[in-house]
Structure 1
Amino acid sequence: MTRTSSAESTGETLAWLSGFTPGAGPRYAQLATFIERAIATGALRPGDRLPPQRMLADLLGVNLTTVTRGLNEAHRRHLIESRGPLGTFVAPSRVELAQLVDLSMNIPPPPADVDLEALLRDGMSQVLIRSDIDLLMTYHLGGGSKADRHAGAQWLRPVIGAVDPAKVVVCPGAQSALAALILSATQAGDVILTEPLVYPGLPLVARQLGRRVECVATDADGMRPDMLEAACREHDARLLYLNPTLQNPTAATMPESRRLAIGAIAARFAVRIVEDDPYWRFAEDAPPPFARLVPQQTYYLSTLSKCLSPGLRTAYLVLPDAQSEAPFLASLRSLSLMATPLTTALVAQWMHDGSAAQLLAGVQAEARSRQQLARRILGGAAHAGSVKSTGSAGGIHVWHVLPDHWSANELTAFARSEGLVVAPASAFHSGRQAPNAVRISLGGCAGRSELTAALRKLADMLERRPHSDTAIVV
């Protein structure tokens, strides 16, 4: 059955048509974006009929050719469909067979107003002009060149303050850096202390290297100092792993007072802190990192994969002292010989010419918009006050506590059967009883319209109850 747009039927100006934005691309492309945005917000729904092209041209103050090109672009994006003499209609939602919408992988969202292709093209052009090609294409000693280390120190300065570039080690991603750090700073059988909910890569690499992970109880502010002190006495631990800002997966941020208390205990028991800090730049009014508060006690790890792009495969590790470098680099070389010289040269170029800051600002803006979207949609999924989402105005994931009628594993399985992938709490939990919650990542969808559809679908699932009859009849 064909529906007529309510705005059209009343003769009112169509609310989803907004004014063109100078510098935001060709007007025909902006028209297609108007339609896409209206579908995402619900202003246009499948089956709504669009006004005739001449009416659109009059409303927008453009010529007919521009409108025709805009509708062709909307067709290309599968937003609308033509039905001959009946007119042009909003297309039904596409069903992509064997394709899942992934809300489980934490990656930075693609920024709407940054031309990444242009940044790559211009950055690589400058690298090739300024660099010796033979040096870019040969083996390099691990840890990064002097220029790479200076670029890392420049990048980290707004977060942890001035740092000696000699203490900055360039690594091919955070996971290899974490593995090398555990290998160099601990022995087989040693204990690594963590919170019960932890980045899954930590226990994975600890098990592979024959180390033990022991959990320390937490409260609303994070790891409890009294329980940390007890764990230090019991286990004679060498490392304490923390992700204190927009923690993965809970999106919680540890206050400064708690950081100072934990830092004091770590210093007293000679336990080094591994501060995994990929999200600090997304947080509003984030407390100082441990690397500022207790730098002599802290290995500070910061990856570009969560705030710029995973494709850069670059992370920076700030060492607490010069004596740590040689054993760390030896361990890193046993796992990954070097970071890719071409990529690290591009990163250094972006740091110096402002491209990295431009890309970061775009990612931060997009993350804030997606957080607002998630709060608006998932906030409507509350069931008898039992649903809770936690996140930040600019983080790239939210932590969603489920209503009593869903278990995390049931919801995860059902969502997958419906084409959505979310991460259950059990994927992050190293203790006995995982909380009944899921982590929802906001960066995996290419556009906000796709994310909107996925979040609405998830919100609808949360309102429903699991099927009691799971028998399969064929």
Structure 2
Amino acid sequence: MLPTWTPVIPAGVAPLYERLVAALRADIASGALAAGVRLPPQRDLAYRLGVGLGTVTRAYVEAEKAGLVSAHVGRGSFVNAPAEHRPYEREGPINLAQNIAPAAAAASRIAEALARLRRRADLSEHLAYAPPAGHESQRRAGAAWLSRTSAYEGVDWRRLICCAGAQQGLSVALNSVLRPGDVLLTEALAYHGLKALTRYGGWRTRGLPMDAEGLRPDALEAAIRATGARVLAVLPTLQNPTGRIMSRARRDAIVEIARRHDLTIIEDDIYGAYALDAPPPFAVLAPERTFHVSGVSKTLAPGLRAGFLVAPAAETFERAVEALRVVAYAPPAFGGLIATQWIEDGSADAILDETRDEGRARLALARQILGAAVETPQSPMAPHIWLPMSELDAERLAGRALRGGAEVTAPDAPVVEPGHESGVRICLGAVGDRETLRRGLEIVAGALSSEVGERSRAVI
């Protein structure tokens, strides 16, 4: 039977691949797709639906796991008989898509931290709403942590706001300085959580060209003149997804432009602790106009949801506190309290040291397996790596890796401005151990080899 199935994808907030699986399930249940029908090739269906190849690939994999279809190498995917609609029992793909720190160092210390909390004199205070910017002990601890780990010397704890993770810190900063319809400048490739915030906030984004150091100053100057934008969101240290680090000269050039055009800088420094030789953050170079965002999710444990936002001045601090109050009423208490306990008693430094050591080993393993495909990392403990390639090659690689059992970051996830750069981000920290990481990286290496082979055959 010819593969002519063209589903109607239901509307909703679920990821597109999940809604595509739902359409497949509905068409099988209604009889529109009979048992044995061959589904269209993934590339053909992606073209007809006007969606990314990675979306269709993920949907086909999930449909197979759910028992809806059976995939046969060289033949395609076929609809199963109804009796066969049962979950396909196998381990999920190896997680190379999620950028989090290895958990072992924190897990070995959490029980002791909880025991120590029982002896804190301020424990019961955390049962009430926190003060508008957070408990003073947590704000002081956050300032000390930024000073120790991110070269943010002289941070004033009185301008620090405790948040439920760096993502909330970004949200608060953006809502403090932008109105619906305003333009936000950022890198052409950026953190996908920032993209989600801009869509939700109704702000227009302009993604700016990059080079080996990240955002280009000339592109920033041109965009300010063209759009009248007054806010820049930037990740200067171990940029996500590329892992690039801005030099001091590059940062100075951007500061000069920002001062000349009265530009506010929102600086995401969540990976600063993994770049020991990075230049000072923008919050040091231009403290009068920089919101500094950081936290402990990439260094201690993401479940703590302890983030820090440092505002540039008294007026912006008050606006940021009000923005937080509107969405959360008060900062969270107990996740930040555990982080504070660890920072105060030295456990946080020990966790970070172990995590850095593990990061070095994992990055070395990735470079050994993937070789020249990896853009040269700018820190020996970088938690993510970048494989530059064309958009089509990136989609193919992600699809092959997923079918092989390893999930990488969706190639379109970081794209703010198409047509500038493309590639695949691989995260090294989410898997539980190095042996699992090795297997995942070898799957990616195999997918890269297949891609090279296909291109060679095409030339012939």
How has the CA–CA distance of structure 1 residues 405 and 272 changed in structure 2, closer, same or farther, with 3 Å as cutoff? closer
Out of 296, 300, 306, which is 1:314 matched to?
A: 306
1:169 aligns with 2:161: yes
Match of 1:255 in 2: 247
- Residue 110 of structure 1 contacts residue 366 of structure 1 at CA under 8 Å; is this kept in 2? no
Pairing of 1:299-310 with structure 2 (within 5 A): 299-310=291-302
Match of 1:84 in 2: none
Match of 2:170 in 1: 178
Out of 390, 393, 399, which is 1:413 matched to?
A: 399
Match of 1:443 in 2: 429
Match of 2:90 in 1: 97
1:428 aligns with 2:414: yes
Which whole-Å CA distance do the structure 2 matches of 1:203 and 1:406 have between them?
A: 22
Match of 2:146 in 1: 156
Amino acid at match of 1:99: G
Amino acid at match of 2:236: P
Out of 125, 133, 150, which is 1:143 matched to?
A: 133
Out of 226, 229, 250, which is 2:221 matched to?
A: 229
Bigger mean CA deviation after superposition, 172-181 or 190-199 = 172-181
1:122 aligns with 2:109: no
- Residue 303 of structure 1 contacts residue 314 of structure 1 at CA under 8 Å; is this kept in 2? yes
CA distances 1:351-389 after superposition (whole Å, capped 9, x unpaired):
11001111111111100110000001111xx5xxxx343
Tell me the CA shift for residue 161 of structure 1: 0.3
Match of 1:393 in 2: 380
Tell me the CA shift for residue 448 of structure 1: 0.5
Match of 2:23 in 1: none
Match of 1:330 in 2: 322
Match of 1:459 in 2: 445
Which whole-Å CA distance do the structure 2 matches of 1:218 and 1:301 have between them?
A: 21
Bigger mean CA deviation after superposition, 184-193 or 366-375 = 184-193
TM-score by length of 1: 0.73
Match of 2:356 in 1: 364
Which whole-Å CA distance do the structure 1 matches of 2:158 and 2:122 have between them?
A: 23
State the percentage of identical aligned residues.
36
Which whole-Å CA distance do the structure 2 matches of 1:398 and 1:388 have between them?
A: 7
Q: Secondary structure at the match of 2:90?
A: coil
Tell me the CA shift for residue 266 of structure 1: 0.6
Amino acid at match of 1:367: G
Which whole-Å CA distance do the structure 2 matches of 1:455 and 1:118 have between them?
A: 26
Amino acid at match of 2:116: Q
Which whole-Å CA distance do the structure 2 matches of 1:167 and 1:223 have between them?
A: 27
Amino acid at match of 1:351: I
How has the CA–CA distance of structure 1 residues 282 and 428 changed in structure 2, closer, same or farther, with 3 Å as cutoff? same
Q: Secondary structure at the match of 2:417?
A: coil
Q: Secondary structure at the match of 2:412?
A: helix
Tell me the CA shift for residue 144 of structure 1: 1.0
Amino acid at match of 1:348: T
Tell me the CA shift for residue 170 of structure 1: 0.8
Unpaired segments ≥5 residues, structure 2: 1-87, 455-460
Match of 2:56 in 1: none
- Residue 391 of structure 2 contacts residue 411 of structure 2 at CA under 8 Å; is this kept in 1? no
Q: Secondary structure at the match of 1:296?
A: coil
Which whole-Å CA distance do the structure 1 matches of 2:452 and 2:367 have between them?
A: 24
How has the CA–CA distance of structure 1 residues 375 and 122 changed in structure 2, closer, same or farther, with 3 Å as cutoff? same
Q: Secondary structure at the match of 1:390?
A: coil
1:245 aligns with 2:240: no
Q: Secondary structure at the match of 1:439?
A: strand
How has the CA–CA distance of structure 1 residues 405 and 258 changed in structure 2, closer, same or farther, with 3 Å as cutoff? closer
Q: Secondary structure at the match of 1:260?
A: helix
CA distances 1:301-334 after superposition (whole Å, capped 9, x unpaired):
1121111110110111111111112211111122
Q: Secondary structure at the match of 1:438?
A: strand
Which whole-Å CA distance do the structure 1 matches of 2:411 and 2:363 have between them?
A: 20
How has the CA–CA distance of structure 1 residues 463 and 150 changed in structure 2, closer, same or farther, with 3 Å as cutoff? same
Amino acid at match of 2:432: A
Tell me the CA shift for residue 424 of structure 1: 3.7
- Residue 167 of structure 1 contacts residue 322 of structure 1 at CA under 8 Å; is this kept in 2? yes
Pairing of 1:23-62 with structure 2 (within 5 A): none
Which whole-Å CA distance do the structure 2 matches of 1:99 and 1:388 have between them?
A: 25
Q: Which runs of 4+ in 1 moved over 6 A?
A: none
How has the CA–CA distance of structure 1 residues 409 and 117 changed in structure 2, closer, same or farther, with 3 Å as cutoff? closer
Which whole-Å CA distance do the structure 1 matches of 2:112 and 2:213 have between them?
A: 44
Amino acid at match of 1:459: A
How has the CA–CA distance of structure 1 residues 255 and 356 changed in structure 2, closer, same or farther, with 3 Å as cutoff? same
Pairing of 1:257-296 with structure 2 (within 5 A): 257-296=249-288
1:297 aligns with 2:285: no
Out of 117, 128, 131, which is 2:121 matched to?
A: 131
How has the CA–CA distance of structure 1 residues 435 and 225 changed in structure 2, closer, same or farther, with 3 Å as cutoff? closer
Match of 1:373 in 2: 365
Highest CA radius of gyration, 1 or 2? 1
Which whole-Å CA distance do the structure 2 matches of 1:200 and 1:465 have between them?
A: 26
Tell me the CA shift for residue 234 of structure 1: 2.0
CA RMSD of aligned residues (A): 2.1
Unpaired segments ≥5 residues, structure 1: 1-94, 469-474
Q: Secondary structure at the match of 1:429?
A: coil
Q: Secondary structure at the match of 2:188?
A: coil
How has the CA–CA distance of structure 1 residues 342 and 131 changed in structure 2, closer, same or farther, with 3 Å as cutoff? farther
Amino acid at match of 1:227: A
Match of 2:34 in 1: none
1:219 aligns with 2:211: yes
TM-score by length of 2: 0.75
